[in-house]
Amino acid sequence: MMLVFGVAVVINRNPVASALSLVVSFLALAALFMSLDAYFIGIIQVLVYAGAIMVLFLFIIMLLDLRAEELRKINWVASAGGLAVALALMVQIFAVIGRFSLAKQTFPSLARSTSDDVHRIGLLLFDNYNLPFQIIGVVILVATIGAVMLSRRETR
Amino acid sequence: MVTLGDYLIVSGILFTIGFAGVMVRRNIIIILMALELMLNAANLSLVAFSRFHVDPSGAPNYNSQVFVFFVITVAAAEVAVGLAIVVALFRLRQTTHVEDITSLKF
């Protein structure tokens, strides 16, 4: 289902429909994360991606008032070239995975099914990864200021 | 039983879809969305390896989940800046079509 909607993101001509299929694709991906016992990551995926980022996309699409692209002549040569490169990439990925002997093993079972992964990730984040965490904070601050500066109307 | 390879193959297909979107589509906003798909494919394989690598105490390897957290954060920042650039560009040129923006073309 995630893959179907992922394809829908790419082939829809209408940007709004494309963004909505991206939301469904992200929700299905969050379900996959949950199936891998990564509950924290799954919830973050729903909140940040399906919530915040997609609202941002939809907001910009509506703000710019993009309708379905007027039927522009599709550059078939460029499209075919792009698809060919993508297909070559997929074949290579499959070849690598097919050769990877660990890929045929099933997942080992966890010690307990109850999940305290928020606790564990938090400890790791503030302990081993404290400096990257602070750098990420600065990155977000810079990105926010940059976004405000870029979208500010010129006043003089 | 689901194997590690199944998740890796799904991740590879998702990455390929995103890559094809970046190569084929000509609308900047759709290209940004396809970039998000590619980042999520990388996240999926990271989480799959994290679940696969169980340490002796029976807990998954949380290092890669922390890494996924960082990737999601940076992706959020990147989308904010990217969409601000798209808005500024749209004000200037009234288009989001990459073939209309060729000022830098020699």
Helix (H, G, I), strand (E, B) or coil at B31: helix
AA identity, residue B52? F
Q: What is the pLDDT of residues A26-55, one digit of tens each?
A: 888 888 888 888 888 889 889 988 888 888
Q: Does the CB of A22 have a partner CB in chain B at under 8 Å?
A: yes
Please report the sign of the dihedral spanned by the C-alpha atoms of residue A76, residue A81, residue A86, residue A87: positive
Averaged pLDDT for residues B71-90: 89
Q: Which two tokens stand for residue A109?
A: 């079972």
Q: What is the pLDDT of residues B65-78, one digit of tens each?
A: 899 999 999 999 99
User: What confidence category does residue B30 fall into, taking pLDDT thresholds of 50, 70 and 90?
Assistant: confident
A133-142 long-range CB contacts below 8 Å, 24 or more apart? A136/B70, A136/B73, A136/B74, A139/B73, A139/B74, A139/B77, A140/B73, A140/B76, A140/B77, A142/B77
Q: Which CATH class is domain A1-69?
A: mainly alpha
Inter-residue contact A36 to B44 (CB < 8 Å): no
User: What confidence category does residue A60 fall into, taking pLDDT thresholds of 50, 70 and 90?
Assistant: confident
Beta bridge partners of B54: B60
- Number of structural domains in chain B: 1
Helix (H, G, I), strand (E, B) or coil at A106: strand
> B106 in a domain, yes or no?
no
Q: What is the pLDDT of residues A112-156, one digit of tens each?
A: 655 677 888 888 888 888 999 999 999 999 999 998 888 777 665
Q: Which residues in chain B are contacts of A64 at CB distance < 8 A? A: 29, 86-87, 90, 96
C-alpha–C-alpha distance, residues A148 and A137, integer Å: 17
Q: What is the pLDDT of residues B3-23, one digit of tens each?
A: 888 888 888 888 888 888 888
> B19 in a domain, yes or no?
yes
C-alpha–C-alpha distance, residues B20 and B75, integer Å: 19
Lowest mean pLDDT among A13-17, A92-96, A138-142, B85-89: A13-17
User: What confidence category does residue A14 fall into, taking pLDDT thresholds of 50, 70 and 90?
Assistant: confident
- CATH label of the domain that carries residue B11: 1.10.287.3510
B44 pLDDT more than 70: yes
ipTM of the complex: 0.85
Helix (H, G, I), strand (E, B) or coil at B82: helix
**Pairwise pLDDT comparison (A7 vs B59), residue with the higher score:** B59
Inter-residue contact B71 to A47 (CB < 8 Å): no
> B56 in a domain, yes or no?
yes
Q: Which residues in chain A are contacts of B60 at CB distance < 8 A? A: 37-38, 110, 117
Inter-residue contact B64 to A43 (CB < 8 Å): no
Q: Which residues in chain A are contacts of B88 at CB distance < 8 A? A: 150-151
Task: Name the nearest CA neighbour of B75 among B33, B18, B29.
Answer: B33
Mean pLDDT rounded to a whole number for chain A: 80
- C-alpha distance from B2 to closest chain A C-alpha (Å): 6
**CA angle centred on A37, ends A10 and A42, rounded to 5°:** 40
Q: Which two tokens stand for residue B52?
A: 């696969």
- Tell me which residue has tokens 């550059």: A75
Give the structural domain span for B41: 4-100
Domain segments of chain A: what residues? 1-69, 114-156
Percent above pLDDT 90 for chain A: 11
- Tell me which residue has tokens 């379900």: A31
> B85 in a domain, yes or no?
yes
> B42 in a domain, yes or no?
yes
| Cβ-nearest to A36 among B36, B47, B73 | B47
Q: DSSP string of A52-76?
A: IIHHHHHHHHHHHT--SPP-PPP-H
Q: Which of B24, B72, B92, B97 to mutate to test the interface with A (most CBs of A within 10 A)?
A: B24
Task: Name the nearest CA neighbour of B89 among A64, A66, A155.
Answer: A64
Please report the sign of the dihedral spanned by the C-alpha atoms of residue A7, residue B39, residue B94, residue A63: positive
**CA angle centred on A112, ends A111 and A117, rounded to 5°:** 100
